């Protein structure tokens, strides 16, 4: 019996050594919060893959990982030694039903030098995942010190494609996916159709690009399917959300003045509860109407000036329901400061586009509250949006008070072609900036006060012809500025010296007295007034220089992104 007990000990010891390992690995797996994954060998627990043929690391989840939508599985790793000889073998990541080769260097995206920390994210379809593994397939014997891959973490995320170079030289990390490669100084992202990010109704795609070695802004060009985006001052790091269909967004080709080493595309969620979508005015102009959250309008906040809300409205009739009575209350001669009934102004024209500061909006809704004035459903909805976004606020006594910011609007009406939409968003956009920026208001007032040539008499007459309340001095300053900046400086002379004077006197001949006596004939054969043309051209150039130096804008342009069809 004693002999048998000693004989059984080596067998029992061997059984302990041969039992399967199932321990949490040294690296974490994250699924929103920590999720349990287990290594099935001692090497798997350490997260170190020796790069010898047949070596592998196997992992299982404590509970199956269930993904209801497409997602990315990302592996963060590095090598020791950091530079491996290309072609020595392949590192394979396997999941349930998928197999991917992990990059060992990043020469294919123009990342020179030793291989940094790599975070490689592979696209996976929805489903139930129970395990993943890593293995090395040697093509030839690796000479020199034993090479190893060290896994820092594994996690899942929303799906994306592209490249992001993050961090300084020490602990430099490169986030990268399949289907991205360098083309000269640019980058191309072009996944096969079965892997492309799927379009969700009324959802967005987020595009980010940059250049890590750039220390100032630069222009950027993005070709995405059938669209070209020209982006001013977009780098060193630029991001935008846009509703281009993923199937029509590829290949993405990104170019800049410096070498592009940051470019990715991923899904983006639309803001809920009618919160504004941050967007450049150029994107507002190009936004697909069938991607609107509400068929009546879409609501944006200006990316460069978030306190300015932009309403893009389906047509003039819908816009009138939201804003026409505001227009008469705020700006129309004979109506300012009072609440006009709809029957009183039904046959009168409001504006084709609108702009209002926080204080004017608060005054309108506060007076309506005090008078129990019946508001349209659209006006009530507008008030709720303004309250939600802090443009107006409710006092402790229930009163409506100014908050901060401003609103502007334009429409998609069939009688409002693209060139007018560009003009309207420029005109109203500069009004919005005027409302929120004191320095700009002071500059405009100084220019207006110094503008004492015959052009001033003409423009005041023209504003009266347009039914503006010319007794409101600040309104005149504001409209003077916006009319100057709504078109390019090269067109200012013709616009003020020919088009507007003739428009005015053709309908109101008595206003001819407000123009200089000396007139000429334009190349088009129309009466024109060179003195007025010269004065307004000089003013337009002064205003354009100012907005360009401060914000990178210009006369005729409030956008930094323009979109065109290829």
Each residue's pLDDT tens digit, 232-284 = 988 788 999 999 876 778 999 999 888 888 899 998 888 887 899 999 999 99
Kindly indicate the confidence band of residue 170, based on its pLDDT and cuts at 50, 70 and 90. Answer: low
Whether 112 has a pLDDT exceeding 80, the answer reads no
Whether 453 has a pLDDT exceeding 90, the answer reads no
Note whether 389 and 444 are same-domain residues.
Answer: no
168 falls within a domain: no
Closest CA to 537 of 485, 478, 501: 485
Note whether 283 and 428 are same-domain residues.
Answer: yes
509 falls within a domain: yes
Note whether 257 and 288 are same-domain residues.
Answer: no
Residue with tokens 């991917």: 100
Closest CA to 255 of 205, 206, 187, 191: 187
Whether 473 has a pLDDT exceeding 50, the answer reads yes
3-state secondary structure of 529: coil
Kindly indicate the confidence band of residue 20, based on its pLDDT and cuts at 50, 70 and 90. Answer: low
Each residue's pLDDT tens digit, 529-538 = 999 999 999 9
3-state secondary structure of 348: coil
Note whether 291 and 243 are same-domain residues.
Answer: no
3 falls within a domain: no
Note whether 285 and 412 are same-domain residues.
Answer: yes
234 falls within a domain: yes
Whether 467 has a pLDDT exceeding 90, the answer reads no
Note whether 290 and 432 are same-domain residues.
Answer: yes
Residue 254: phi, psi to the nearest 5? Answer: -120, 125
3-state secondary structure of 19: coil
Q: What is the CATH number of the domain that holds 153?
A: 2.60.120
Note whether 442 and 476 are same-domain residues.
Answer: yes
Q: Which domain holds residue 223?
A: 178-270
Whole-number Å distance between alpha carbons of 479 and 280? 23
Whole-number Å distance between alpha carbons of 404 and 391? 5
Whole-number Å distance between alpha carbons of 66 and 130? 9
CB within 8 A of 475, min separation 6: which ones? 331, 468, 469
- Give the per-residue pLDDT at 216: 80
- Give the per-residue pLDDT at 1: 40
- Class of residue 88 by CB neighbours under 10 A (exposed 0-12, middle 13-18, buried 19+): middle
- Give the per-residue pLDDT at 356: 97
Closest CA to 117 of 24, 209, 213, 27: 27
Note whether 288 and 331 are same-domain residues.
Answer: yes
Number of domains the chain contains = 4
3-state secondary structure of 480: helix
Average pLDDT, the chain: 90
- Give the per-residue pLDDT at 17: 43
165 falls within a domain: no
Whole-number Å distance between alpha carbons of 420 and 415? 9
Kindly indicate the confidence band of residue 16, based on its pLDDT and cuts at 50, 70 and 90. Answer: very low
Kindly indicate the confidence band of residue 105, based on its pLDDT and cuts at 50, 70 and 90. Answer: confident
Each residue's pLDDT tens digit, 185-221 = 889 999 999 898 876 666 789 999 988 777 788 899 9
Each residue's pLDDT tens digit, 377-393 = 999 999 999 999 999 99
Instruction: Name the domain boundary from 270, 294, 320.
Output: 270
Instruction: Name the domain boundary from 159, 191, 208.
Output: 159
Note whether 262 and 409 are same-domain residues.
Answer: no
Q: Nearest 5 degrees, angle CA 418-CA 424-CA 427?
A: 145
Largest CA-CA distance found in the chain, in angstroms, rounded: 132
- Give the per-residue pLDDT at 7: 41
Whether 142 has a pLDDT exceeding 70, the answer reads no
Please compute the mean of the pLDDT values over residues 319-339 and round it to a whole number.
92
22-31, 75-84, 105-114: segment of lowest average pLDDT: 105-114
């Amino acid at each position: 019996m004693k002999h048998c007990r000693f004989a059984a000990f080596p067998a029992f010891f061997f059984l302990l050594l041969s039992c399967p390992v199932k321990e949490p690995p040294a690296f974490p797996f994250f699924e929103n919060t920590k999720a349990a994954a287990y290594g099935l060998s001692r090497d798997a627990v350490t997260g170190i893959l020796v790069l010898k043929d047949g070596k592998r690391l196997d992992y299982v989840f404590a509970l199956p990982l269930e993904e209801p939508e497409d997602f990315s599985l990302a592996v963060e790793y590095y090598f020791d030694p950091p530079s491996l000889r290309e072609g020595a073998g392949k590192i394979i990541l396997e999941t349930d039903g998928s197999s991917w080769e992990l990059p060992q260097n990043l020469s294919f995206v123009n990342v020179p030098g030793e291989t940094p920390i790599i975070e490689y994210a592979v696209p996976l379809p929805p489903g139930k995942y129970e395990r993943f593994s890593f293995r090395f397939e040697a093509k030839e014997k690796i000479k020199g010190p034993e090479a190893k891959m060290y896994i820092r973490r594994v996690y899942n995320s929303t799906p994306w494609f592209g490249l992001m170079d993050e961090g300084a030289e020490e602990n430099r990390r490169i986030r990268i996916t399949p289907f991205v490669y360098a083309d000269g100084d640019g980058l191309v992202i072009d996944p096969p159709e079965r892997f492309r990010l799927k379009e969700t109704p009324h959802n967005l795609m987020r595009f980010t690009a940059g250049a890590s070695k750039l220390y100032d802004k630069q222009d950027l060009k993005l070709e995405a399917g059938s669209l070209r985006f020209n982006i001013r001052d977009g780098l060193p790091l630029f991001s935008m959300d846009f509703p281009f269909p993923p199937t029509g967004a590829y290949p993405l080709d990104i170019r800049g003045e410096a070498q592009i080493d940051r470019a990715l595309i991923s899904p983006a969620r639309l803001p809920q509860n009618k919160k504004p979508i941050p967007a450049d005015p150029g994107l507002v102009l190009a936004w697909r109407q069938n991607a609107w959250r509400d068929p009546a309008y879409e609501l944006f906040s200006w990316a460069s000036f978030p306190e300015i809300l932009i309403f893009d409205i389906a047509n003039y009739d819908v816009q009138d329901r939201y804003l026409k009575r505001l227009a008469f209350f705020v700006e129309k001669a004979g109506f300012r400061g009072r609440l006009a009934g709809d029957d009183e102004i039904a046959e009168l024209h409001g504006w084709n586009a609108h702009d209002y500061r926080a204080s004017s909006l608060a005054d309108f809704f506060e007076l309506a509250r005090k008078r129990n004035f019946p508001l349209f459903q659209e006006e009530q909805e507008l008030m709720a949006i303004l309250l939600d976004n802090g443009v107006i606020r409710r006092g402790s006594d229930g009163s409506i008070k100014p908050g901060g910011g401003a609103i502007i609007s334009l429409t998609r009406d069939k009688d409002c072609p693209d060139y007018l939409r560009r003009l309207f968003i420029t005109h109203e956009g500069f009004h919005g900036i005027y409302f929120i920026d004191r320095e700009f208001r002071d500059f405009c007032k100084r220019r207006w006060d110094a503008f004492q040539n015959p052009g001033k008499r003409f423009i005041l007459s023209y504003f009266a012809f347009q039914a503006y309340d010319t007794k409101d001095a600040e309104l005149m300053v504001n409209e003077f500025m916006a009319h100057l900046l709504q078109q390019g400086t090269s067109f200012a002379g013709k616009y003020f010296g020919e088009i507007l004077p003739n428009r005015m006197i053709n309908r109101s001949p008595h206003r001819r007295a407000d123009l200089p006596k000396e007139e000429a004939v334009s190349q088009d054969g129309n009466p024109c007034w060179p003195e007025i043309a010269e004065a307004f051209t000089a003013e337009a150039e002064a205003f354009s220089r100012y907005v360009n130096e401060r914000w990178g804008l210009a006369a005729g342009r409030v956008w930094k992104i323009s979109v065109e069809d290829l």
